[in-house]
Chains A and B, each alone.
Chain A
Amino acid sequence: MTPILQIQNLKKIFSRDGQSDFTAVDDVSFDMVPGECLGLIGESGSGKSTVANMIVRLLAPSGGRISLDGEDVTDADVRAICRKVQMVFQSPQESFDPRRTLGDGIGESLLTAGRPAAEAREEVARLLESVGLSPDFASRYPHEVSGGQCQRAAIARALAIEPKLLICDEATSALDVTVQAEIVALLSHLMRGHGMACLFICHDIALAQGFCDRLLVMYRGKIVEEGTPDEVIQSPKQEYTKMLIDSVL
Chain B
Amino acid sequence: MKALLHFDRVSVSYNGVPVIHDVSFSLREGEILGIVGESGSGKSTLLKAAMGLLGPGGVVARGDIWYKGKNLPDLAEEELRRLSGPNLAMIFQHAGASFCPIRTVGAQLYEAVNAHETISESEFRKKAATLLQKLRFEDAARILESYPFDLSGGMMQRVGIAAAMLLNPSVLLADEPTSALDVSVQKQAVEEMLLIRELYHTSIVIVTHNIGVVRAMADRVVVMKDGRIVESGDAREVLEHPAQEYTQTLMAAVPRLRLRRGA
List A residues at the B interface (Cβ < 8 Å): 16, 41-46, 90-91, 143-149, 152, 170, 173-181, 203-207, 209-210, 230, 233-234, 243-245, 247-249
Stretch of B121-129, B159-167, B184-192 contacting A (4+ beta carbons < 8 Å): B184-192
What are 30 of the A-B contact pairs (CB < 8 Å)? A43-B184, A44-B152, A44-B154, A44-B157, A44-B180, A45-B153, A143-B55, A146-B40, A146-B44, A147-B176, A170-B180, A174-B39, A176-B39, A176-B209, A178-B38, A179-B39, A203-B183, A204-B210, A205-B183, A209-B258, A210-B255, A230-B261, A244-B183, A247-B184, A247-B187, A248-B257, A249-B183, A249-B190, A249-B215, A249-B216
Let me know if B28 is at the binding interface, CB within 8 A: no
How far apart are the CA atoms of A175 and B255 in the complex, in Å? 13
B residues in contact with A145, CB < 8 Å: 40
Q: Given A177-B250, A177-B253, A234-B260, are A244 and B209 neighbors across the interface (CB < 8 Å)?
A: no
Residue of A nearest to B19 (CB): A146
| A206 contacts across to B, CB distance below 8 A | 255-257
Which of B14, B39, B57, B259 lies in contact with A148, CB distance below 8 A?
B39
Indicate which residue in B179, B213, B253 contacts A178 across the interface (CB closer than 8 Å). B253
Closest chain B residue to A42, Cβ basis: B182
Q: Which of these, B94, B181, B257, contacts A203 with CB under 8 Å?
A: B181
B233 at the A/B interface (Cβ < 8 Å)?
A: no
Chain B's closest residue to A46 (CB) is B182
The A-contacting residues of B in range 133-178, CB under 8 angstroms, are 149, 152-154, 157, 176
Chain A residues positioned under 8 Å from B176 (CB to CB): 147, 174
- Chain B residues with a Cβ under 8 A of chain A: 14, 36-40, 44, 55, 57, 93-94, 149, 152-154, 157, 176, 179-187, 190, 209-213, 215-216, 249-250, 253-261
Complex contact A203–B182 (CB within 8 A): yes
A207/B255 contact (C-beta < 8 A), A173-B209, A179-B39 known: yes
10 closest A-B pairs by CB: A148-B39, A249-B212, A206-B255, A44-B153, A177-B253, A247-B184, A206-B257, A207-B255, A45-B153, A247-B183
A177 touching B183, Cβ below 8 Å: no
The residue in A144, A145, A147, A209 that gathers the most chain B C-beta atoms within 10 A of its C-beta is A147
Does A173 contact B179, Cβ atoms closer than 8 Å? yes
Residues in A with CB closer than 8 Å to B250 are: 176-178
Task: Pick the contact of B182: A43, A207, A210, A233 (CB < 8 A).
Answer: A43
Alpha-carbon distance A177/B213, docked complex (angstroms): 13
Given contact pairs A44-B182, A147-B93, A203-B181, a sample of 11 additional A-B residue pairs in the complex whose CB atoms are under 8 Å apart: A45-B152, A45-B153, A143-B55, A146-B40, A147-B176, A148-B39, A176-B39, A177-B254, A177-B255, A178-B253, A204-B255
State whether A249 touches B40 (Cβ < 8 A).
no
- Bound Cα distance from A234 to B258, whole angstroms: 7
Give the residues in chain B near A45, CB-CB below 8 Å.
152-154
- Give min CB distance, A21 to chain B, whole Å: 12
A243 touches B39 (CB 8 A): no
